[in-house]
Amino acid sequence: MPRRAIRPWIAGAAATALALAPLAANPALARGRAPSAAKPAAYTFGVAMPMTGSQASYGADQVQALMWAVQFINSHGGVDGVPLKPIVEDTQADPQLGINDVNKLISLYHVPAFITAWSSVVAAVAPIANRHHVLELSIGANDPSIAHLGPYVWTTYPLANVDITALAKYVYTNLHDRTAAVLYIDNATGIYGAQVFRNVFQQMGGKVVAFEAYPQNTTSYTAQLLKVKAANPQVLHIQGLVQDTLAVIAQARELGITSQITSYSAADNPQLLKQDGAAANGLIVTALAPSQGPQLRHYLALWQSRAHRLPNGLPYTEYLYDAPFILKAQILWLIQHHLAYTGPNLLKAMQANPRVVTPLTGLTVFNPNHTVDKPVYLLKAVHGQFVQIAKLPG
């Protein structure tokens, strides 16, 4: 709700609440009604993300995006005059550290909500969120099991089945490819995504002629690629992390594999195009947020002016930028319904107010199972740059 519309009502509520201050001890109030009209000094929330460690290049940029969004909101009046205050803890994308961080956020800072990412961390801290009735917003993790982690766990980022399903359908329907090979890293990210691609492609009527895994931290993919080459697929889908996808593409082309290569959002990385050179030409990847358009112009300019570069994992940072706006919308809903800023009340807000307009990724609609669907953007590498070739419904 617009701030201007709320303000007169808040003033009235404030006067009433002041007059009824002795009733603050009322058990009904204690159950969640706003105990007094006195505004908090800030709406505090936790942010548990990798700021150091192997994933820091992504995590730090995502937190940077979030901080700019908070800065924007606070400089434009905060949430009904109250600033948002994020407390950042470093998970290093490690589940055990994530547990320590979230315990600290809840017991020391008493946050009613926190934001986190990386599937293993999201899953590890979910029981804590549920036990302490604290809202956990997962932003960027895409493991489908996130939909089943409990009442307090919600994701603002589409889960893995959304973009890979759309990609497999596009390959079959639009590119008219009928045979595919799938090469994937042997971990949770790779296995699930590879299975989704295979199953959807086969359901469409296509044939998966090779389905090969490679171990983490390997440096040669030749053996697997030779099996792919022998199967002669029309399309090769790679489900890996950015660093191995880079090497797989280079080695595939060196071995003379000329198939169309596809991958998912992890490969949406300008560095990959630079380092793979001509080998990456024609590569099709998915993105779950737009990489162009008027709404992004200001955001990208912000990165260029303050960091002198584009962010690592642009789409992920867009979702982190949008996160404080989702939180703001739910806090405004609480204010409108005279509810205190607590975890259980935020849960009510998420259920009652599932449609939130966010500045970068557009309308966010939460499904009853706490997930979201978003459009899937397909990007194609053309002469060292990704160009959007399709926007598919999520």
Partner 1 sequence: MIAQLVVSGLAMAGPYVLFSIAFSLVLKTTGVWNFSQGGVMSLSVYAVYFALNALGWPPVLAVAAGLFVAVAVSLAIERFGFEVLRRRNVGSLMLFVFSLVLSAFASDLLTLIFGTGSVTIYPSILSPVHLVDGVAVTNANIESAVWSAALAAAVLAGLKWLPAGQALVAVSKNRELAELYGLSRRRAYLTAAAVSGVLVAVGMYLLALGVEVDPSIGSDLLVVAVAATIIGSIGNVTGTVIGAVLIALLQNFSVLVLPSVWQTAVVYGVLFAVIIFLPRGLLASAR
Contacts of 318 (CB under 8 A, 6+ apart): 65, 289, 290, 296, 299, 360, 361
Contact between 47 and 87 under an 8 Å Cβ cutoff? The reply is: yes
Q: How far, in whole angstroms, is CA 216 from its chain's centroid?
A: 23
Q: How far is the CB of 97 from partner 1 (least distance, A)?
A: 15
Q: CB nearer to partner 1: give 107 or 232.
A: 232
Residue with tokens 């939130």: 356
C-alpha to C-alpha distance for 89 and 388, rounded to whole angstroms: 35
Q: How far is the CB of 268 from partner 1 (least distance, A)?
A: 15
Q: How far is the CB of 222 from partner 1 (least distance, A)?
A: 4
Contact between 200 and 164 under an 8 Å Cβ cutoff? The reply is: yes
Amino acid at 149: L
Contacting positions for partner 1 (CB under 8 A): 52-57, 186, 212-215, 217-220, 222-224, 226-227, 230, 242-243, 246-247, 250-251, 253-256, 274-279, 312
Q: How far is the CB of 79 from partner 1 (least distance, A)?
A: 34
Contact between 103 and 129 under an 8 Å Cβ cutoff? The reply is: no
Q: CB nearer to partner 1: give 10 or 191.
A: 191
Q: CB nearer to partner 1: give 187 or 388.
A: 187
Per-position b or e across 192-220, b if 16+ CB within 10 A of its CB:
bbbbbbbebbeeeebebbbbbbbeeeeee
Q: How far is the CB of 178 from partner 1 (least distance, A)?
A: 23
Residue with tokens 């009510």: 348
Alpha helices (H) along the chain? 3-19, 27-30, 56-75, 95-107, 119-132, 160-173, 188-204, 222-231, 242-254, 270-276, 294-307, 314-336, 343-352
Q: CB nearer to partner 1: give 19 or 278.
A: 278
C-alpha to C-alpha distance for 338 and 107, rounded to whole angstroms: 25
Q: CB nearer to partner 1: give 55 or 155.
A: 55
Contact between 315 and 379 under an 8 Å Cβ cutoff? The reply is: no
Q: CB nearer to partner 1: give 312 or 358.
A: 312
Q: How far is the CB of 165 from partner 1 (least distance, A)?
A: 23
Q: How far is the CB of 387 from partner 1 (least distance, A)?
A: 20
Q: How far is the CB of 243 from partner 1 (least distance, A)?
A: 4
Q: CB nearer to partner 1: give 259 or 361.
A: 259
Q: How far is the CB of 181 from partner 1 (least distance, A)?
A: 12
For strands 355-358 and 376-382, give the pairing. unpaired
Q: CB nearer to partner 1: give 154 or 316.
A: 316
Q: CB nearer to partner 1: give 53 or 394.
A: 53
Amino acid at 82: V
Question: Would residue 375 be called left, alpha or beta, if left means φ above 0 and alpha means ψ between -120 and 50 degrees?
Answer: beta
